[in-house]
């Protein structure tokens, strides 16, 4: 396949029959980003040597707030510990197991971590009062997400697949206890990493067209509405291709906004993070 055809295929996978951008400045990095997909099926083999180090180097090269280093990474490779975490999380959702956690050779737990700041400040004779405020919680969470996204791109660039696991927050308190997190830290999300199984390949999930989400010189309320029907069709085709149950995108939005069962325990997240020192003042 020539490059133009490959680029057209990438945009078709991302947008379906919806309006697509026609003036992308393509390079290897952009191709990789547009081709991203969540991988939930992995081969039974370890990560290649140097994979984790490569991902962490990329993560540490992400933008960060005031060089405060407000994140940490717990790499879980022990099979028994990984299974314990998988069992803990699967108990919060209406399924018996979470295969992607069990299959992946490594489960990465991305920790929003102000514990170093708290410890060093106390050692220097001061009270870390700023860490109790909402902005520190946001800084730590944002920096963690930026680092993890860099790591994800690095993983994909060396032939690995990843899936982000927000479901780790369903049992945030138990997960923190299992891995021994100190105060002023919590697992923001997990990431399963491994070699994708080509026999059980996933596909890129469609996105809305750019005109639905990009606003010119100010926010235009309801800008997305003319694009709903087209996106619903792309969403339907994706779910059919992945043998997923019939569901509209709008119904999934409604469920996410109204169903406490959907939260799976995350309704207690505020209590957990405040207990751990983030008072969210």
- How long a stretch of residues is the chain? 281
Model pLDDT for residues 53-62, shown as the tens digit of each residue: 999 999 999 9
Band (104; pLDDT cuts 50, 70, 90): very high
**At residue 74, what are phi and psi to the nearest 5 degrees?**
-105, 115
Query: What are the residues whose beta carbons fall under 8 Å from the beta carbon of 187, sequence distance 6 or more?
Result: 74, 109, 110, 111, 112, 168, 169, 172, 175, 176, 179, 181
Within a domain: 234? no
The span from the CA of 83 to the CA of 97, in Å, is 10
Percent of the chain predicted with pLDDT > 90: 93
**Residue 130 lies in domain:** 37-201
Q: What pLDDT is stored for residue 260 in this prediction?
A: 87
The reply to whether 151 and 31 lie within a common domain is no
Q: What pLDDT is stored for residue 208 in this prediction?
A: 97
The reply to whether 89 and 143 lie within a common domain is yes
Q: What pLDDT is stored for residue 1 in this prediction?
A: 76
Q: What pLDDT is stored for residue 97 in this prediction?
A: 86
Angle between helices 249-258 and 228-241 (to 10 degrees): 90
The reply to whether 193 and 120 lie within a common domain is yes
Q: What pLDDT is stored for residue 158 in this prediction?
A: 97
The reply to whether 83 and 179 lie within a common domain is yes
Q: Given 139, 172, 201, which residue is the final one in a domain?
A: 201
The reply to whether 65 and 30 lie within a common domain is no
The reply to whether 20 and 106 lie within a common domain is no
Work out the end-to-end distance of the chain between its first and last CA atoms, rounded to an integer number of angstroms: 55
Of the ranges 78-82, 105-109, 230-234, 271-275, which one carries the lowest mean pLDDT score? 271-275
When divided into structural domains, the chain yields a total of: 2
Q: What pLDDT is stored for residue 122 in this prediction?
A: 97
Mean pLDDT in residue range 122-142? 96
Q: Which residue stretches of the chain are H helix?
A: 3-15, 28-34, 51-60, 79-90, 99-103, 115-123, 134-157, 172-179, 210-213, 228-241, 249-258, 260-263, 269-275
Q: What pLDDT is stored for residue 95 in this prediction?
A: 83
The reply to whether 56 and 181 lie within a common domain is yes
The reply to whether 156 and 20 lie within a common domain is no
The reply to whether 4 and 59 lie within a common domain is no
Within a domain: 156? yes
Q: What pLDDT is stored for residue 273 in this prediction?
A: 92
Band (211; pLDDT cuts 50, 70, 90): very high
- The CATH number that applies at residue 83 is 3.40.109.10
Model pLDDT for residues 162-198, shown as the tens digit of each residue: 999 999 999 999 999 999 999 999 999 999 999 999 9
Within a domain: 236? no
> 179: closest CA among 55, 75, 51?
75
Model pLDDT for residues 216-268, shown as the tens digit of each residue: 999 999 999 999 999 999 999 999 998 889 999 999 999 999 988 888 999 99
The reply to whether 3 and 57 lie within a common domain is no
Residue 96 Cα distances to 27, 93, 273, angstroms: 42, 8, 27
Within a domain: 181? yes
Within a domain: 270? no
The reply to whether 23 and 56 lie within a common domain is no
The reply to whether 3 and 72 lie within a common domain is no
Q: What pLDDT is stored for residue 261 in this prediction?
A: 85
The secondary element (H helix, E strand) that includes residue 205 is none
Q: Which two tokens stand for residue 170?
A: 């369903």
């Amino acid at each position: 396949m020539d490059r133009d055809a490959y680029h057209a295929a990438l945009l078709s996978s991302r947008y379906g029959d919806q309006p697509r951008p026609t003036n992308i400045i393509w390079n290897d990095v952009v191709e990789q980003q547009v081709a991203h997909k969540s991988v939930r099926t992995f081969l039974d083999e370890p990560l290649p040597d140097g994979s984790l180090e490569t991902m962490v180097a990329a993560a540490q090269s992400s933008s960060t707030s005031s060089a405060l280093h407000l994140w940490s990474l717990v790499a879980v490779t022990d099979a028994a510990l990984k299974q314990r975490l998988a069992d803990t999380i699967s108990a919060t959702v209406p399924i018996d197991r979470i295969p992607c956690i069990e299959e992946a050779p490594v489960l990465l737990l991305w920790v929003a971590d102000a514990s170093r700041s708290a410890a060093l400040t106390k050692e220097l004779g001061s009270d870390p009062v700023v860490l109790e405020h909402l902005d520190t919680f946001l800084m730590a969470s944002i920096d963690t997400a930026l680092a993890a996204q860099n790591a994800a791109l690095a993983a994909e660039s060396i032939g690995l697949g990843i899936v982000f696991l927000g479901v780790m927050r369903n049992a945030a308190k138990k997960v923190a206890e299992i891995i021994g997190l100190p105060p002023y830290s919590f697992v923001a999300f997990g990431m399963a990493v491994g070699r994708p199984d080509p026999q059980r390949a996933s596909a890129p999930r469609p996105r809305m067209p750019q005109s639905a989400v990009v606003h010119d010189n100010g926010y235009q309320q309801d800008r997305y509405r003319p694009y709903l029907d087209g996106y619903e069709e792309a969403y339907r085709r994706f779910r059919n291709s992945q043998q997923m149950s019939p569901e509209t995108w709008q119904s999934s939005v409604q469920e996410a906004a109204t169903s406490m069962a959907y939260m799976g325990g995350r309704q207690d997240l505020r209590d957990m993070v405040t207990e751990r020192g983030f008072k969210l003042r």
